[in-house]
Amino acid sequence: MTAKNKVPTHGSREREIDRLEKDVEDLRHLAGSADGEAELERIRRQVAELRREFYDHLGPWQRAQIARHPQRPYTLDFIGLLFTDFVELHGDRGYGDDKAIVAGLAKFHGRPVAVIGHQKGRDTKQRLVRNFGQPKPEGYRKALRVMKLAAKYGRPIFTFIDTQGAYPGLDAEERGQAEAIALNLREMARLPVPIIVTVTGEGGSGGALAIAVGDRVNILENSFYSVISPEGCAAIMWRDSTKAETAAVALKITARDLKELGIIDEIVAEPEAGAHTDYEAAARLVDIVLDRQLVMLSNESVKDLLDARYQKFRNMGQYFDHG
């Protein structure tokens, strides 16, 4: 990539736009005439267009940074904005309660459902409690317990994905991390209720997939979903984690790439500057998609639902070289 074509870092360009918006607000307080207001409105439109153009042309690595933004809405934020009567359920009835995964029962547009998702933390204390959103085996077993409870009573299941991946520590391996993930994949493939998955931040490898086998898989437009993080890929392929930006391009991790590859079903639009700038607007956009998909899936027979779900995931990753 030449210096001329190099895309500015997300942070520096966003700070530049923020400064312009602050200048507009400062001028607004000083303007008193009709001409002054008209000029301010013109400048405000220019700033909005600059922001829109910037976000429309972000590369994979820049979108990955947005997906990881510390103020991005997490599962509990979406639960508060999209669902009512939420009751959180804890523990896997075997070892303990993994706070990296939130799971419980709620209502969506008045209909009883189950909600499960990864939960990170806002500050250092919360991140430690939530293990930075990286589940251990008991987290996946808790999720499966709630899913089976939902299936027993005919409740559709919503899952929200936002994790770097499953926790790779020794204690997680000792308690059967791989087995817990594999069991979830098998069981989710045959749960007889609609399952709607939404990637809201970063979708990392099996840690994400363990609660992402569904009838519809959505992704917010600035989120990403990948078998490995760009940094991890760069460290393996080039033994240089600084080549993460190159790896992000090669991995095809963006929403548009995933849609073209058939990995996800629908891209959910975000507010103009990203979901982290307006939780309520982001939730409204998600709500429209989830409501429409739930109505559609609820009209399908269990057999058709399971057959389509099975074929959906069996067909992923099949490529043919016609050259």
Ordered by start, the domain boundaries in the chain are 10-57, 65-314
pLDDT tens digits for 156-193? 999 999 999 999 999 999 999 999 999 999 999 999 99
What is the pLDDT, as a whole number, of residue 3? 35
Task: For residues 215 and 213, give the distance between their C-alpha atoms in angstroms, rounded to a whole number.
Answer: 7
Sequence-separated (6 or more) residues with CB below 8 Å from residue 24: 40, 43, 44, 47
pLDDT of residue 75 exceeding 90, the answer is: yes
What is the pLDDT, as a whole number, of residue 225? 93
Rounded alpha-carbon distances, angstroms, from residue 315 to 213, 248, 304, 312? 13, 24, 16, 6
pLDDT tens digits for 301-311? 999 999 999 99
Q: How confident is the model at residue 7 (pLDDT cuts 50, 70, 90)?
A: very low
What is the pLDDT, as a whole number, of residue 15? 66
Beta bridge partners of 108: 111
What is the pLDDT, as a whole number, of residue 279? 95
What is the pLDDT, as a whole number, of residue 59? 84
DSSP letters of 271-322?
-TT-GGG-HHHHHHHHHHHHHHHHHHHHTS-HHHHHHHHHHHHHTTT-----
Q: How confident is the model at residue 4 (pLDDT cuts 50, 70, 90)?
A: very low
12/196: higher pLDDT: 196
Please compute the mean of the pLDDT values over residues 126-147 and round it to a whole number. 96
13/64: higher pLDDT: 64
Rounded alpha-carbon distances, angstroms, from residue 37 to 17, 23, 106? 20, 14, 47
Task: For residues 69 and 254, give the distance between their C-alpha atoms in angstroms, rounded to a whole number.
Answer: 16
CA 153 to chain centre: 27
pLDDT tens digits for 211-252? 999 999 999 999 999 998 898 899 999 998 889 999 999 999
Q: Measuring CA to CA, which residue among 76, 18, 12, 10 is closest to residue 279?
A: 76
pLDDT of residue 1 exceeding 60, the answer is: no
What is the pLDDT, as a whole number, of residue 2? 36
For the segment(s) 65-314, the CATH number from 3.30.565.10, 1.10.1060.10, 3.40.50.2020, 3.90.226.10 is: 3.90.226.10
Q: Which range is least confidently modeled, 5-14, 148-157, 210-219?
A: 5-14
Q: Are 242 and 264 in contact (CB under 8 A)?
A: no
Q: How confident is the model at residue 8 (pLDDT cuts 50, 70, 90)?
A: very low
pLDDT tens digits for 261-303? 889 999 999 988 789 989 999 999 999 999 999 999 999 999 9
Tokens linked to 149? 């409870």
Q: Which range is least confidently modeled, 9-13, 45-49, 236-240, 254-258?
A: 9-13
Sequence-separated (6 or more) residues with CB below 8 Å from residue 13: 54
pLDDT tens digits for 15-74? 666 666 666 666 666 555 555 567 667 776 766 666 666 666 678 888 888 899 999 999
In this structure, the strands spanning 224-226 and 216-220 are unpaired
What is the pLDDT, as a whole number, of residue 24? 61
What is the pLDDT, as a whole number, of residue 6? 40
245 in the Ramachandran plot: left (φ > 0), alpha (ψ -120 to 50) or beta?
A: alpha
152 in the Ramachandran plot: left (φ > 0), alpha (ψ -120 to 50) or beta?
A: alpha
CA angle 84, 107, 138 (to 5 degrees): 95
210/316: higher pLDDT: 210
What is the pLDDT, as a whole number, of residue 106? 98
